[in-house]
Structures are given as structure tokens and as C-alpha cells.
Structure 1
């Protein structure tokens, strides 16, 4: 596993949103999807509100790689399923960062959304 450098981790983790482009089978990138991103420890995570049935999530699962842009950081990444043991810390990161959006943040804290938790690993 490749790790984020401190500057990129801090900048991307602090960004309000992240643009995610998943890679198609032919290596081209899909149109970007804007979503929330959270940092937990030395890792960055995203989730699909619609869980594993979400369109962008299905695209990510086809190649497990793509590109993210957040807070001035643009990196090619691998999308790795988070271990369920990581979910509580990721939940806490979502609550802390986006808690002011009370009506919305609860949607990323459901069991359906948790099942789609992906760790973003630089490549």
C-alpha cells in the first residue's frame, strides 16, 4: 500500500468535497462525480449514499482505480474496500466534518452506505 504524503493528506482531507473519476476498462476516465471525503488517521475515505448499488460505486468496482481531485491535490488512486473495523472511525470523521449538515450526514452513516466505504490509496 502506498501512503499519502503529509501535505496532500492534510489538503485533500480538509477539502469540503472531492471529485472522483473512475477508470473504464479501456483506461479512460469517467466524468467526475463530486462527493464528500473524510480523513481518518493517515487515510482518505469516500462512501456512496446509495451503497454498493450507486452508479459511481459500480464504476469504481470495475477497475478499482481512477483519479481524485480535492483541495488542490490531484492524484491517481486505487480504490480499496475498507475493512468493517474501519467503519466506526470513518463514521466519526463524517460526523465531525459534516455534522453541520444534520439532515444529510445521516445518509452516509447507514449500513447501506457503510458497505460502500472505500479507502483511497495513492498510486
Structure 2
């Protein structure tokens, strides 16, 4: 696993939103999707409110690669399925960062959303 350098980790983790472009099977990028991003420890994570049925999540599964743009950082990434043991820390990160959106943040804390938790690793 490739690690984030601290400057990029901080800037992306502190960004309110992230734009994610996943690679199609032919290597071209899909249109960007804007979503929330959280940092838990030395890792960055995203989730789909619609779980593994979400269209952007399904797009990440063809090559498990893409590009993100957040906090002034554009980075090629690998999408790794998070281990269920990581979910509690990711839940806590969502509650802390986006808790002010009480009615909305609960949608990324469901079992369906947890199943789509992806760890973003620099490439």
C-alpha cells in the first residue's frame, strides 16, 4: 500500500468535498462525481449513500483506479475496499466532519453505505 504524504493527506482530508473520476475499462475517465471525503488516521475514505448499487461506486469497480481532486490537490488513486474493521473509525470521521448536516450524514452511516466504503490510495 502506498502512503499519503502528510501535506496531501491534510489538504484532501480537510476539503469539504472531493471530485472523483473513475477509470473505465478502456482507461478513459468517467465524468467527475462530487462527494464527501473523510480522513481516519493516515487514510482517506469515500462512501456511496446508495451502497454498492450506486452508479459511481460501480464505476470504480472496473479498474479500481481513477483520479480525485480536492483541497487544490489532483491525484491519481487506487480504490481499495475497506475492511469492515475500518468502518467504526470511518463512521466517527463522518460524524465529526459532517455532523452539522445531522439529517444528511446519517445516510452515509447505514449498513448499505458502509458496504461501499473505499479507501483512497495514491498512485
TM-score > 0.5, shorter chain as reference: yes
1:47 matched residue in structure 2: 47
Instruction: Calculate the TM-score normalised by the size of structure 2.
Output: 0.99
Q: Point out where structure 2 has 5 or more consecutive residues left out of the alignment.
A: none
Q: Distance in 1 between matches of 2:63 and 2:20?
A: 13
Q: Point out where structure 1 has 5 or more consecutive residues left out of the alignment.
A: none
Deviation, 1:25, is 0.8
5 Å matches for 1:82-121? 82-121=82-121
2:4 matched residue in structure 1: 4
2:78 matched residue in structure 1: 78
Q: Distance in 1 between matches of 2:58 and 2:97?
A: 26
Q: Distance in 2 between matches of 1:28 and 1:77?
A: 14
SS of structure 2 residue aligned to 1:44: strand
Deviation, 1:12, is 0.2
Q: Distance in 1 between matches of 2:102 and 2:40?
A: 20
SS of structure 2 residue aligned to 1:3: coil
Give the number of equivalent residue pairs. Answer: 123
Q: What per-residue deviation string (whole Å, max 9, x for no partner) do you get for residues 89-115 of structure 1?
A: 000000000000001000000000000
Q: Distance in 2 between matches of 1:119 and 1:39?
A: 10
5 Å matches for 1:19-30? 19-30=19-30
Superposed CA RMSD in Å reads 0.3
